[in-house]
């Protein structure tokens, strides 16, 4: 597929609309605004990574990490894996054209309906859950095309083991809808007319899909936006916004293609409409910088951060094979099919009361980490783990050494299950600017009861297959009960006014007096004022679709969601 992005030298001085970011919220805004007939520029700080160019080796992956903490920064600012380290909670997000959709777990679920009864959601949205929000979900599903792992595809050892673990919890394992293409449609392509190859079950979804089967926004919403005239620019970082003469001025910097450092100074472009879709961290940071530059915004900007109750843990060295380490594409080793990163789920959303609800998913570790997994797991397992079946210690001992000497595809690591959990936290984190860095403070976040409940549940699941249960090591008491989230939410949360939110139910940014700032929107995870208890991608997409529906209605515009007629098919990989 030809590149979607253009040289920055072709960026005009003025557009009808500027969209910042390229993930679910931004990609949707770009597509819908372009379909309204507006002149649209998409500004993405990361680079465009073609299908087939994602990391294949540990060395490749190492070059793709950017790590920021209070002690400084490491790696290129264009690295695909963007890790923000904080004392209370650290966050991993994606950086590239497509945003975090490039490296997420693909699961597309609605939260329990009771989530939207929470008073933190504005009255306007709560009144339209079954109408405009439901329509938003439908439109997002049409474009992202989620399906359950087909029963016609090969059986997966990690899924079979997960069923055993599920039964031990008195629950049922289901196959959740995931945004992965399992059957190539060479005649029609996807909803944007892009032909995607079928998934090869390589297990590398979370390090970037080199097959082209992962339904990222780079393969649906963004090509659709380009087909309708949107101009897409990468390696372009937006710093802040200013209001001048009835228009928005977007201050931006070009990033060096080698290390991502700013070059050429700050410049501005004008737009009547600006949609911030740079993610929970990015959109909040831009609004905080805009506030520092004089823009009047709600005092709630930066408040209400949630890690979505995320937990990543492991059932190490089980008595049965799991085959949960990816092999890449083309495969680096011969193993049975690993599968998509997530194929099975324990659905506990409907527990009473709602805060006790959660979903538990099995996962696959990307192949790029395979060389270091045996040594890491052999040291971390005994140090931080709980052996649920001490009677077979000698067999476990042998499997541990087998992995260490023969690699991740045999022995203890081959028998390791990855658990991914989303639940309900209190959403009480706070984001602030610390010089050039966005910091997150949430004292005692890891002491919330929900994380103890999850740990107990996963330990029972691991016992069913005779493994050693290993919490996220950072959550250990020794290291201060620190958390890691891959689903950050909040910071520009919805509300009824400036006392309760940073934006209104239509995603319009509040000024300092509860009146919306004309033409300024936030459409991404930052808009979500609570934890969701499920993977948030589909809800973020539904909220963005709904915001664009309201924007069109409020401005006397319209758009169709039908595929553009007469457009030649594009191929995800050529």
DSSP letters spanning 95-126: -STTGGGGTS--B--PPPGGGGGSTTS-HHHH
CA distance 462 to 102: 30
pTM: 0.97
- Cα→Cα distances 421→15, 245, 359, 409, 486, Å: 42, 48, 6, 24, 11
**Do 115 and 532 touch, CB atoms closer than 8 A?**
yes
Tens of pLDDT, residue by residue, the chain (574 residues): 899 999 999 999 999 999 999 999 999 999 999 999 999 999 999 999 999 999 999 999 999 999 999 999 999 999 999 999 999 999 999 999 999 999 999 999 999 999 999 999 999 999 999 999 999 999 999 999 999 999 999 999 999 999 999 999 999 899 999 999 999 999 999 999 999 999 999 999 999 999 999 999 999 999 999 999 999 999 999 999 999 988 999 999 999 998 899 998 999 999 999 999 999 999 999 999 999 999 999 999 999 999 999 999 999 999 999 999 999 999 999 999 999 999 999 999 999 999 999 999 999 999 999 999 999 999 888 878 888 887 788 888 899 999 999 999 999 999 999 999 999 999 999 999 999 899 999 999 999 999 999 999 999 999 999 999 999 877 777 667 789 999 999 999 999 999 999 999 999 999 988 899 999 999 999 999 999 999 999 999 999 999 999 999 999 999 999 998 888 899 998 6
pLDDT tens-place string over residues 397-438:
899 999 999 999 999 999 999 999 999 999 999 999 999 899
CA distance 515 to 526: 19
3-state secondary structure (DSSP) of residue 510: strand
Q: Where are the domains of the chain?
A: 12-48+99-145+216-308+429-442+491-567, 150-187+199-204+311-422+445-480
pLDDT tens-place string over residues 175-196:
999 999 999 999 999 999 999 9
User: Strand pairing of 262-276 and 311-316?
Assistant: unpaired
Residues 6+ apart with CB under 8 A from 251: 238, 239, 240, 241, 242, 266, 267, 268
Q: What is the CA radius of gyration of the chain?
A: 23
**Do 214 and 205 touch, CB atoms closer than 8 A?**
yes
Class of domain 150-187+199-204+311-422+445-480: alpha beta
Tell me what pLDDT residue 478 has.
Answer: 63
pLDDT tens-place string over residues 58-92:
999 999 999 999 999 999 999 999 999 999 999 99
Beta strands in 143-202, from DSSP E residues, in sequence order = 173-174, 194-195
User: Does residue 330 have a cis bond before it (omega within 30 degrees)?
Assistant: yes
CA distance 250 to 259: 23
3-state secondary structure (DSSP) of residue 42: strand
- β-bridge mates for residue 418, sequence order: 314, 363
Q: Does domain 12-48+99-145+216-308+429-442+491-567 match CATH 3.40.50.10420?
A: no
Q: What are phi and psi of 136, to 5 degrees?
A: -60, -45
Query: Can you count the helices (H) and strands (E) in the chain?
Result: 12, 25
């Amino acid at each position: 597929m030809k590149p979607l992005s253009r040289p920055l030298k072709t960026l005009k001085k003025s557009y009808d609309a500027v969209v910042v970011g390229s993930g679910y919220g931004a990609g949707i805004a770009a597509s819908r605004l372009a379909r309204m007939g507006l002149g649209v520029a998409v500004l993405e700080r990361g680079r465009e990574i073609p299908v087939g160019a994602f990391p294949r080796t540990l060395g490749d992956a190492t070059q793709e990490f950017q790590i920021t903490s209070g002690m400084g920064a490491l790696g290129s600012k264009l690295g695909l894996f963007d890790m923000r380290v904080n004392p209370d909670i650290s966050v991993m997000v994606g950086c590239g054209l497509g945003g975090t959709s490039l490296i997420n777990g693909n699961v597309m679920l609605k939260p329990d309906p009771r989530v939207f009864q929470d008073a933190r959601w504005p009255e306007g949205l709560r009144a339209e859950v079954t109408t405009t929000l439901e329509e938003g979900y439908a439109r997002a599903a049409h474009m992202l095309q989620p399906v359950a792992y087909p029963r016609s595809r090969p059986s997966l050892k990690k899924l079979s083991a997960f069923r055993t673990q599920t039964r031990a919890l008195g629950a049922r394992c289901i196959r959740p809808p995931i945004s992965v293409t399992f059957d190539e449609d060479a005649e029609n392509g996807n909803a944007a007319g892009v032909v995607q190859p079928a998934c090869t079950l390589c297990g590398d979804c979370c390090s970037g899909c080199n097959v082209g089967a992962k339904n990222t926004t780079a393969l649906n919403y963004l090509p659709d936006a380009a087909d309708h005239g949107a101009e897409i620019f990468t390696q372009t970082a937006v710093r802040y916004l200013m209001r001048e003469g009835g228009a928005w001025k977007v201050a931006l910097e070009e990033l060096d293609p080698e290390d991502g450092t700013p070059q050429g100074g700050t410049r501005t472009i004008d737009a009547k409409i600006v949609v911030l879709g740079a993610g929970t961290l990015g959109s909040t940071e831009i609004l905080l910088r805009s506030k520092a530059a004089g823009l009047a915004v709600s005092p709630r900007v930066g408040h209400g951060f949630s890690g979505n109750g995320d937990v990543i843990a492991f059932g190490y060295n089980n008595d049965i094979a799991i085959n949960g380490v990816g092999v890449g594409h083309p495969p680096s080793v011969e193993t049975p099919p690993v599968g998509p990163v997530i194929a099975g789920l324990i659905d506990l959303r409907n527990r009473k009361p709602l805060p006790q609800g959660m979903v538990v998913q099995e996962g696959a570790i990307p192949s790029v980490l395979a060389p270091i997994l045996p040594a890491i797991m052999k040291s971390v397992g005994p140090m931080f783990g709980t052996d649920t079946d001490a009677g077979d210690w000698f067999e476990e001992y042998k499997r541990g050494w087998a992995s260490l000497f023969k690699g991740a595809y045999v022995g203890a690591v081959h028998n390791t299950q990855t658990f991914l959990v989303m639940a309900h936290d209190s959403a009480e984190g706070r984001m602030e600017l610390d010089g050039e860095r966005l910091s997150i403070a949430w004292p005692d976040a890891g002491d919330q009861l929900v994380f103890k409940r999850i740990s107990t549940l996963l330990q029972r699941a691991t016992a069913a297959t005779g493994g050693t249960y290993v919490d996220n090591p950072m959550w250990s008491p020794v290291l201060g009960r620190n958390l890691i989230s891959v689903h950050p939410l909040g910071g520009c949360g919805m509300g009824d006014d400036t006392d309760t939110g940073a934006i209104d139910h239509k995603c319009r940014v509040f000024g300092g007096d509860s009146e919306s700032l004309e033409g300024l929107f936030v459409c991404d995870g930052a808009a979500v004022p609570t934890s969701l208890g499920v993977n948030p991608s589909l809800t973020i997409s539904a909220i963005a679709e709904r915001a664009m529906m309201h924007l069109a209605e409020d401005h006397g515009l319209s758009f169709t969601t039908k595929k553009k007629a007469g457009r030649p098919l594009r191929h995800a990989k050529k």
